[in-house]
């Protein structure tokens, strides 16, 4: 059903069109005077405007020009019994959707209405998309002027201009998805879709179906055909989050689609072409994953054509005051109140904390402080317990230990949480875990070396 406004000085034409359109379940409003229509018409309540060309007080062209000058872009259809090429051209230049000649069949006007409504809805969806992009740009900035962040911005500018695959590496909470979206927004594909798949959240079979789609009856529960993300994201960008968790069989299929730009849905032999730029993210050292035969070497080189390494928050501590201020202002704007500030002591605590959860953890602390603080400024006594107690961080601020993770990942998560509890004190941490201080030190050293190796690998590939 469409909401149609008819503007015509002839009673017979208005009544005839009203009967036709009402019989097709459209909601109709009519005006005999175009001046009155201009005064009373609410564009947001109309899907299509149909106007006669020849009217005594104001003709259809003048009416259209007046509407467009007011910013009204509702699809506009002109009717006339005196068709001429020059009039039609002028109407189209002003943005008329269609130009039809009297007399016309009921089916003709029904088709014009259907096409006009489709155009209006597409315009609305496009504006909504633009608004969401503006909101995203306003709410998710790459904050920080440290040398590390300047390098990240430079990398984004360079890789955004390319169509090659990007690999974003960094610890959990460093903003890998944010950077991926910034690359997409700055690329030539920004008007196309950007879809995201969390590879760690799906089993191998479900991930394959999610990526490539499936035919009806391909497996139990496949009661209808479904397009996969590679098909839906054609012309845009596909983000493969936590790509290290993809099984080896699915890795082989990923390699093929990246090389050949084609794939088959599950349960089908028909080849489908796709035009997708892939951005992959990981918090692991993939070169080490390759050495353990958990990740295909050929796929590693295929996805790491353009690597981007994100620094941890502790490696760009000079950005912490700016980040904290940004989060506090964003929270205040959302809540409709004045932004709070950290006292000097509170800021000192944040600058000296090791932030195992990185920027995500800092944002969580800022939000908790903004909500719970009853004074104008947030004092260190409020946030200090949150920077040492693991029970408020276990779910979102430190790597979670979930079923299906490797034992070493669960071990690392436990050690990190215990270190947080004892403010980085190694002897207390080792004693609480029942291991030697030397063993703890060796593990921490190995993890630091792995992180450094991952960053060096990214820099070598980028160079």
Distance CA 463, CA 458 (A): 9
Contact indicator for 4, 37 with CB cutoff of 8 Å:
no
Q: Is the pLDDT of residue 134 over 50?
A: no
Specify the pLDDT at position 45. 80
CATH number of the structural domain 3-128: 3.40.50.2300
Q: Is the pLDDT of residue 305 over 70?
A: yes
Distance CA 54, CA 18 (A): 19
Contact indicator for 47, 3 with CB cutoff of 8 Å:
yes
Specify the pLDDT at position 455. 59
Specify the pLDDT at position 205. 87
Q: Are strands 48-52 and 3-7 parallel, antiparallel or unpaired?
A: parallel
Place of tokens 């029970």: 391
Specify the pLDDT at position 405. 47
Could you read off the pLDDT of 181-213 as tens digits, one per residue?
999 999 999 989 999 999 988 888 899 999 999
Q: Is the pLDDT of residue 62 over 60?
A: yes
Q: Are strands 262-264 and 271-273 parallel, antiparallel or unpaired?
A: antiparallel
Could you read off the pLDDT of 407-424 as tens digits, one per residue?
666 777 778 878 877 767
Could you read off the pLDDT of 213-236 as tens digits, one per residue?
999 888 888 888 889 999 999 999
Q: Is the pLDDT of residue 389 over 50?
A: no
**The two domains 3-128 and 144-311 share their CATH topology (first three levels equal):** yes
Distance CA 397, CA 407 (A): 19
Domain ranges of the chain: 3-128, 144-311, 313-387, 407-459
Specify the pLDDT at position 169. 95
Could you read off the pLDDT of 29-41 as tens digits, one per residue?
999 999 998 888 8
- Work out the average pLDDT over 370-374: 90
- Work out the average pLDDT over 326-335: 90
Specify the pLDDT at position 344. 93
Considering only residues 324 and 437, tell me which one the structure prediction assigns the higher pLDDT. 324
Distance CA 210, CA 226 (A): 9
Specify the pLDDT at position 125. 63
**Poorest-pLDDT segment among 71-75, 274-278, 282-286:** 71-75
Specify the pLDDT at position 400. 44
Band (pLDDT 50/70/90 cuts) for residue 128 is: low
Specify the pLDDT at position 402. 44
Band (pLDDT 50/70/90 cuts) for residue 436 is: confident
Phi and psi dihedrals of 290, rounded to 5?
-65, -45
Superfamily of domain 144-311: P-loop containing nucleotide triphosphate hydrolases (3.40.50.300)
CATH number of the structural domain 313-387: 1.10.8.60
Q: How far, in whole angstroms, is CA 343 from its chain's centroid?
A: 35
- Work out the average pLDDT over 68-91: 77
Task: Say what the pTM is.
Answer: 0.58
Specify the pLDDT at position 462. 53
Q: How many residues does the chain have?
A: 463
Specify the pLDDT at position 399. 43
Q: 401-415 in b/e burial notation, b at 16+ Cβ within 10 A?
A: eeeeeeeeeeebbbb
Average pLDDT over all residues of the chain: 84
Q: Is the pLDDT of residue 454 over 70?
A: no
**Poorest-pLDDT segment among 320-334, 389-403, 441-455:** 389-403
Specify the pLDDT at position 396. 36
Specify the pLDDT at position 456. 65
Distance CA 300, CA 306 (A): 11
SS3 (DSSP) at 7 = strand
Q: Is the pLDDT of residue 130 over 60?
A: no
Which sign does the torsion angle of CA 445, 448, 450, 452 carry?
Answer: negative
Distance CA 28, CA 46 (A): 9
How many Cβ atoms from other residues are within 10 Å of residue 326's Cβ? 18
- Work out the average pLDDT over 141-154: 89
């Amino acid at each position: 059903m469409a909401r149609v406004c008819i503007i015509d000085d002839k009673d017979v034409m208005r009544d005839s069109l009203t009967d036709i359109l009402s019989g097709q379940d459209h909601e109709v409003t009519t005006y005999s005077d175009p001046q009155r229509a201009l005064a009373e018409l609410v564009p947001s309540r109309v899907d299509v405007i149909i106007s006669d060309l020849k009217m005594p007080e104001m003709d259809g062209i003048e009416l259209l020009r007046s509407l467009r000058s007011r910013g009204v872009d509702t699809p506009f259809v002109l009717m006339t019994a005196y068709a001429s090429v020059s009039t039609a051209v002028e109407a189209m230049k002003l943005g008329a959707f269609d130009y039809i000649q009297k007399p016309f069949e009921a089916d003709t006007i029904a088709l014009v209405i259907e096409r006009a409504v489709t155009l209006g809805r597409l315009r609305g969806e496009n504006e909504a998309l633009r608004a969401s992009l503006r909101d995203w740009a306003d709410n998710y900035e790459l904050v920080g002027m440290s040398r590390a962040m300047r390098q990240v911005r430079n990398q984004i500018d360079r890789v955004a201009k390319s169509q090659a695959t990007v690999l974003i590496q960094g610890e959990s909470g460093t903003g890998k998805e944010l950077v991926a979206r910034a690359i997409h927004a700055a690329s030539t594909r920004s008007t196309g879709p950007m879809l995201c798949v969390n590879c760690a959240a799906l089993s191998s079979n479900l991930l394959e179906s999610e990526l490539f789609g499936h035919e009806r009856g391909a497996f139990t529960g496949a009661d209808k055909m479904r397009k996969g993300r590679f098909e839906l994201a054609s012309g845009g960008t596909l983000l493969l989050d936590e790509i290290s968790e993809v099984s080896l069989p699915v890795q082989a299929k990923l390699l093929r689609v990246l090389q050949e730009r084609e794939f088959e849905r599950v349960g089908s032999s028909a080849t489908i072409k796709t035009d997708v730029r892939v951005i992959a993210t990981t918090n692991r050292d993939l070169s080490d994953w390759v050495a353990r035969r958990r990740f295909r070497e050929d796929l590693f080189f295929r996805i790491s054509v353009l690597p981007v390494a994100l620094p941890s928050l502790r490696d760009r501590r000079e950005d912490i005051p700016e980040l904290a201020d940004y989060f506090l202002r964003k929270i205040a704007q959302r809540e409709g109140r004045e932004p709070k500030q950290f006292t000097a002591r509170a800021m000192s605590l944040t600058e000296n904390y090791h932030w195992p959860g990185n920027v995500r953890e800092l944002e969580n602390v800022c939000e908790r402080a903004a909500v719970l603080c009853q004074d104008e400024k947030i004092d260190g006594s409020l946030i200090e317990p949150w920077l040492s107690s693991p029970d408020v961080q276990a779910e979102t601020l430190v790597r979670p230990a979930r079923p299906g993770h490797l034992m070493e990942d669960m071990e690392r998560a436990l050690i990190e949480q215990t270190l947080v509890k004892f403010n980085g004190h190694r002897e207390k941490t080792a004693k609480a875990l029942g291991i030697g201080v030397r063993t703890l030190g060796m593990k921490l050293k190995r993890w630091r070396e792995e992180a450094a190796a991952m960053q060096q690998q990214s820099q070598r590939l980028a160079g």
